[in-house]
Amino acid sequence: MKRCPKCNEYLSDDAIQCKSCQHYLDGKERMDERCECGNLVAKLTEDTVEIKCRRCKRIRVIPMDMLKDRYHYLLEKSKAEPQGE
């Protein structure tokens, strides 16, 4: 367990954001990516995409390298599949 430096709330060791005050613990700057309706879709950093679960509110951090590799895999897979006429 660790504590938030801003509000002193107890947090899990792997937490990157405080649930109480929303303070980020890793010091990275984030940019919001929002839907046209205004709802938050994801937060972008220089090397990750952070997506928040709508149900449990946990934040899933996805490294950009993983996204790039997955994108290339899906691109190659779509090229290999026969196109319907």
Please report, in tens digits, the pLDDT of each residue of the chain (85 residues total): 899 999 999 999 888 888 889 888 888 888 888 888 888 889 898 889 999 887 887 888 899 888 888 888 888 888 887 665 5
- Rounded to the nearest 5 degrees, what angle is found at the Cα of 52, between the Cα atoms of 46 and 23? 70
Pairing, β 31-34 against β 40-44: antiparallel
pTM equals: 0.56
pLDDT value, residue 11? 92
pLDDT value, residue 84? 57
Cβ atoms of 63 and 51 within 8 Å: the answer is no
Task: Report the C-alpha gap between 6 and 18 in whole angstroms.
Answer: 9
Whole-angstrom CA distances from 53 to 40, 41, 74, 80, 82 are 11, 10, 24, 33, 35
pLDDT value, residue 83? 62
pLDDT value, residue 53? 82
